[in-house]
Structure formats: C-alpha cells, structure tokens
C-alpha cells in the first residue's frame, strides 16, 4: 500500500480524486486503488513546554532562565491525537510513503515531523502541488521527487521552530516576571518577529506624536509659451532660508518676487526630454497582493490570506497562495492562452482584458531561474463564475488574473519632459508626461492622465500670465495600515540605519514570511499591543510600554531579518543549523541580562502619560488630526493673492 500524507483534508480530497479508481472514506483516510490518502490538520505536533523537560519549569522563575533543551521534544496537539493514531496505524501497513505537504517551509515541516516522530524508516517521496484541479494534481503525481532533496528546507523550518521557542519562552517569561515586579499583572509576550513588527508601529506613532509642523511657502507662475500655457514653480536660491528639502521658510522673498512677476518675460533655458518604457507589474506574491488589496478594497492582510485560501482550496480557481515568488514557470507559458481563456470567459471585465491580450508577447515573468518551491499566484484555468463568489473573493480573483493577463500587454511608453525657465534672473521649473502608448496601464486604472506640457524648444520666450504664493505646512508621517505594514515587513532594509546591514538585507530582506505576516498583525491586535482605528494600525499603551522596556536590539528589525537570512542559507545552501542556534542563544543571554523592573515601570508610566497627553490635545482641538504622509507632503492654507 502506498500512503500519501497531505497537509490538510482539502488537499487529501484533491489527491484522492486524481487517483485511478473509486474513492471510499474510512477511518480518517481516503482509499483509492492501491493508494491511501490521509492528512494532517495543520501541525499535529508542537514543541513540548518547558515542564516536559523538567517539572521544575512549571513555575515561572527568573533564576531558571534561560531554559535550553538539550534534546528537543515534540508532543501531540490536544485535538490531534486521533488523527495521529490513524497515521501511525497506516504507516505500519505502508510499503512506501509520499509526503504531500504544501510547497513551502512550514508544509515541509509539519508532514515530515509526523513521519519522523512516528518512526518511519523507509524512503519518502515528495509530492508538490500548487493547483488543486484534477489535471494539475495528476501531473504532479506523475512527477514525484525524492523527499531527501527537501531536507535542507525541513532543517530550516525545524530551526525556525526551535528559535521561536527559545526566544519566545525565555523572553516572555523574563518580561512577564519583571512586569510583575513593576506592578503589571498579565503576560508580556515577546516574539522573535512580532516584537520588531510592534517596534515599527511604536516608532511610527512616536514620530507622529512628536512631529512639530512648520510653515513653508511656494510660488507658482502660469506661463504663456508659443504652443500653449503651463504652470512652473519657483526654485529659490540658497541665499534664502530653506529647509533640508529646499523649501522656502519665509514668505517675504516669495511675495516680493510675485509682485514683480505679472507680465514679466523670460526664456526656456533648459529642456530635457526622455522616453520612459515601463513593463507591466509582475504577477503577485501573497504579500504584494495583500498590499494592493488593502489599498484598493480596504481588506486586512488576514482577510486577503483567508480569501486566497478559499479561492485555492474551496473554489480551485488559483494556484497555491502562500507564495513569496512573483515569477512563473516557463512551461506554463505554452498553456497560458488556454488557461486564461477558460478562467476569464465568464466575467465581462476579465473577458475584455483577455480580448486585448497579445499571447505572442513574452514578459520577464516567465523565468525558471527565479521560481523555487512555488511560483506566483495565477488562475488555474477553472472557469470563474464570479457572480457565485463573495464580492471580496471576486475582487481578489480579478486582481490575480489581471496581473497575469498584463504580461501579455505591451509596455507603457511615455515621454517625460522637464523644463527650466529663467524669469527676472530667477529659476522656474515645470515637468510633465505625455502618454505615447498606454500598454498595460488601462488594466490598472481608469484615471485620466494630467495633460502634457505643450511642445517647446530650448530658447523660446515665455510670459507670466498669473502667479500666486501659497502657504503650506509640513505633515507628519502616515500611521501604518495593513498595506503599509506588510510592505514594511517585505522591505525591512528601509527601516535599518546601519549601512552594512542595510546593504546585506537588500538581497534577502523581510520580517516574517508570506504565510505568517498577516497572522503576526492579528496576533499583536489579539494580545492588546495594536489596535485598528478605521484603516490605521496604532500601538496601545501596553504595546508602547513593552517596546520602551525592551533593549532596542529586541524591538528593531535588524537581528530578526538577519536570522531570516541564516534560515534561507540553511534552506537554499544546506548550511549547518547549529551556528544559527548557537548565535541565537548568545543573543538571548544578553537580552535576558537587560530585564529590569525599574525600566519597565518607568516605560509603562511614560506610555500612559503620553497617551493621556495625546487624548488631551485631541479633546482640546475637538478632533484628532489625521496624518497623510511623510514630512515632504504638505497641507495647503487658503491662498493669498500675489
């Protein structure tokens, strides 16, 4: 008997349906011919608690820390014992075993740890499925691989699980016990990934809270040129009082120039024109999809993940969703026309996009060198009856299909123009863009482009028709949203100060994984560290106090992102996991040594005071101020005539 162990029941059903012969269910398994398909229910096993290693650890005490298992143990999850017993019985009858976990790090771990825990000593084949439709599953069954090839992926996942246990158990106990000494009654949870993510939000909130706006002034002039009119902006010289972004900090010079401008004549002294060619955005990874769906539809990262799981498992409309890849296998290109024709045929919008596609084109998205265990999200080819889906499911499916269809559209081609005028010995600049070929752009927006600058030639005269000085004010950074926090987790190098670390992280940056990022945000909310305010994510007093009480290294992304690099090295280059865990334990000892009740008490008091101060300011102003973006964005005051 061949035993196939799937990650979850939905995958087991898809595999059984693709096998020859009828399918019958019996005792937690599906029988099809000479094969039996059984399943896990997510993780059937979990890391043993500290008291499994020594009963003395049942009591939380600082002098027990750090707790460092010498021989790691796994125990069954409470609700998994029955299914684990089923798999044990089937293994005893099996002549061969097939590992059918999801094609990612966690999928490799959760099936393989069961096989090893139950003592199977024979060979194991690996079945990789990213599309649950029957033809795709049958193709995958015909291409079984040796599971030994995926041992590095398993070791990386195992190392991640042990690292999370060491970090979470020891630091959570240390800060909870220290919190009790400081008067805080409750668990203070510290995690290898969740705490740096919380740190990002806390620091952003502090930037917003501490931001002090200041005014600046801009002067524009409407210029008549030979072929029309345009608006240009004054570029004040350095002898004026400017901020570090070149913005004018006093109104008088702008007013003085504005008084002289009406009717003044000048010349176009510099003209730069260049043609820009832009390829379509790549197909989606999960995180990239979460960012776009949050911006376009206001969906949380967890909602997008849940929708994708339903589109994959229940509706079988998309390929495996928990992917960090934005490229597609080259073999899929030949079937793309048939796949997309079938997938898009029952929706008016998708039919229109499909009709405009040119399947003789080939984009850079088709690249086997950039496809790992899984590829970008894509339609499976099953006809999509979107009217039978929930609205959010249909919206997300259209996004996924659109980004694949866009690979068969020509590039966007535009002409960018930058013009500099000299008027009254002062410089004025204008810029514009002319769309020469829209290419893929209409699939992404229906917004009309701003009119291009009129045709001009260097040296031609201009005349000021109107002008005005505008009062503006700097604005604080935007609060994080699901979209911007996911994007920050994807591109964590932007939030790192150390130039050496920043350079290293650009190649393999990222906090968390595609499969865990949404869950990290939800966990922080459930534990009371973050709260959603409309679409924004803000730190609570508890979250801010926890970050302030921790050593900075524990709440910043550098260490965790570098750990993810080490895990990638184990998975991709077969690096030895031992140095990774040894370095982690050394870090852990240093962090434990910095737990301090006085610092934590002060941090909580400061956070409470800051929260009260913000509430008082909001009450005084009548409403909370809503930030827009980085300080370079500005709020306009009412115009004053020049």
Point out the residues that are catalytic. Answer: 320
Find where tokens 């008088």 sit. 252
Rounded distance between C-alpha atoms, residue 348 and residue 353, angstroms: 9
Per DSSP bridges, beta strands 215-225 and 228-234 are antiparallel
Whole-angstrom Cα distance, residue 171 to residue 594? 11
Q: What does R_g of the chain's alpha carbons equal in angstroms?
A: 30
Residues 6+ apart with CB under 8 A from 634: 216, 472, 473, 474, 475
Check residue 366 and report its DSSP letter: B
Per DSSP bridges, beta strands 530-533 and 412-423 are: unpaired
Residue 446, Ramachandran bin (φ over 0: left; ψ between -120 and 50: alpha; else beta): alpha
Residue that the structure tokens 């009709």 belong to: 355
In order of 96, 358, 615, 616, 627, the CA distances from 204 in angstroms are 54, 44, 17, 20, 11
- Do 480 and 201 meet the contact criterion of CB atoms below 8 Å apart? yes
Q: Could you give the CA distance from residue 262 to residue 268 in angstroms, rounded to a whole number?
A: 17
595 vs 604: CA distance, rounded Å: 14
Cβ atoms < 10 Å from Cβ of 493: 19
29-32/124-126 β-pairing: unpaired
How many CB atoms neighbour CB 401 within 10 A?
A: 27
Q: Positive or negative CA dihedral for 406, 408, 409, 412?
A: positive
Cα gap 4→126, rounded to integer Å: 9
Nearest to 219 by CA among 180, 185, 192, 259: 259
């Amino acid at each position: 008997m061949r035993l196939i162990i799937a990650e979850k029941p939905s995958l087991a059903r898809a595999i059984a349906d693709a096998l020859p012969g009828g399918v019958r269910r019996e005792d937690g398994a599906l029988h099809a011919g000479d094969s039996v398909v059984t399943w896990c229910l997510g993780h059937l096993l979990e890391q043993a608690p500290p008291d499994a290693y020594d009963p003395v650890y049942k009591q939380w005490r600082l002098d027990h820390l750090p707790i460092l298992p010498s021989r790691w143990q796994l125990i069954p999850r409470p609700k998994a014992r029955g299914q684990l017993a089923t798999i044990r019985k089937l293994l005893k009858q099996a002549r061969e075993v097939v590992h059918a976990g999801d094609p990612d790090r966690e999928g490799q771990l959760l099936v393989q740890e069961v096989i090893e825990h139950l003592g199977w000593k024979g060979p194991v084949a690996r079945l990789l499925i990213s599309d649950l439709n029957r033809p795709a599953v049958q193709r995958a069954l015909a291409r079984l691989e040796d599971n030994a090839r995926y041992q590095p992926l398993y070791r990386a996942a195992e190392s991640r699980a042990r690292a999370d246990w060491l970090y979470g158990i020891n630091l959570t106990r240390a800060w909870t016990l220290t919190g009790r000494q400081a008067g805080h009654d409750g668990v203070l949870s510290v995690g290898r990934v969740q705490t740096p993510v919380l740190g990002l939000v806390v620091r952003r909130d502090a930037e917003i809270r501490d931001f002090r706006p200041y005014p600046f002034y801009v002067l524009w002039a409407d210029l008549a040129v030979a072929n029309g009119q345009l608006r240009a902006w004054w570029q004040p010289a350095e002898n004026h009082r400017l901020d570090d972004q070149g913005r004018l900090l006093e109104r008088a010079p702008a007013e003085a120039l504005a008084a002289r401008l009406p009717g003044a004549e000048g010349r176009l002294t510099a003209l730069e024109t260049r043609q820009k060619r832009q390829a379509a955005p790549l197909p989606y990874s999960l995180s990239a999809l979460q960012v776009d769906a949050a911006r376009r539809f206001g969906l949380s990262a967890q909602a997008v993940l849940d929708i994708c799981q339903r589109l994959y498992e229940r509706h079988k409309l998309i390929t495996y969703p928990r992917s960090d890849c934005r490229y597609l296998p080259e073999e899929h290109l030949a079937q793309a026309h048939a796949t997309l024709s079938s997938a898009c045929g029952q929706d008016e919008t998708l039919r229109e996009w499909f009709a405009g596609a040119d399947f003789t084109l080939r984009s850079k998205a088709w690249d086997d060198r950039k496809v790992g265990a899984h590829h970008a999200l894509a339609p499976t080819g099953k006809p999509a009856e979107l009217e039978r889906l929930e609205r959010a499911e249909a919206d997300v499916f259209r996004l996924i299909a659109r980004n694949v269809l866009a690979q068969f559209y020509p590039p966007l081609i535009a002409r960018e123009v930058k013009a500099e005028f000299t008027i009254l010995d002062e410089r004025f600049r204008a810029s514009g863009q002319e769309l020469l070929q829209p290419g893929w752009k209409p699939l992404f927006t229906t917004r009309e482009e701003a009119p291009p600058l009129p045709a001009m030639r260097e040296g031609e005269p201009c005349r000021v028709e109107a002008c005005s000085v505008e009062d503006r004010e700097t604005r604080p950074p935007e609060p994080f949203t699901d979209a911007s926090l996911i994007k920050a987790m994807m591109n964590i190098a932007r939030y790192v100060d150390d130039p050496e670390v920043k350079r290293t992280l650009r190649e393999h940056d990222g906090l968390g994984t595609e499969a865990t990022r949404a869950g990290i945000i939800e966990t922080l909310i459930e534990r009371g560290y973050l709260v959603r305010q409309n679409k924004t994510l803000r730190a609570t007093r508890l979250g801010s106090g926890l970050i302030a009480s921790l050593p900075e290294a524990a709440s910043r992304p550098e260490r965790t992102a570098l750990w993810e690099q080490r895990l990638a090295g184990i998975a991709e280059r077969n690096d030895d996991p031992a140095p990774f865990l040894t370095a982690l334990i050394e870090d852990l000892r240093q962090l434990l040594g910095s737990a301090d009740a006085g610092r934590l008490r002060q941090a909580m008091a400061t956070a409470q005071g800051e929260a009260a101060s913000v509430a008082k300011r909001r009450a005084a102003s009548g409403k909370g101020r809503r930030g827009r973006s980085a300080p370079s964005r500005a709020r306009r005051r009412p115009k004053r005539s020049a």
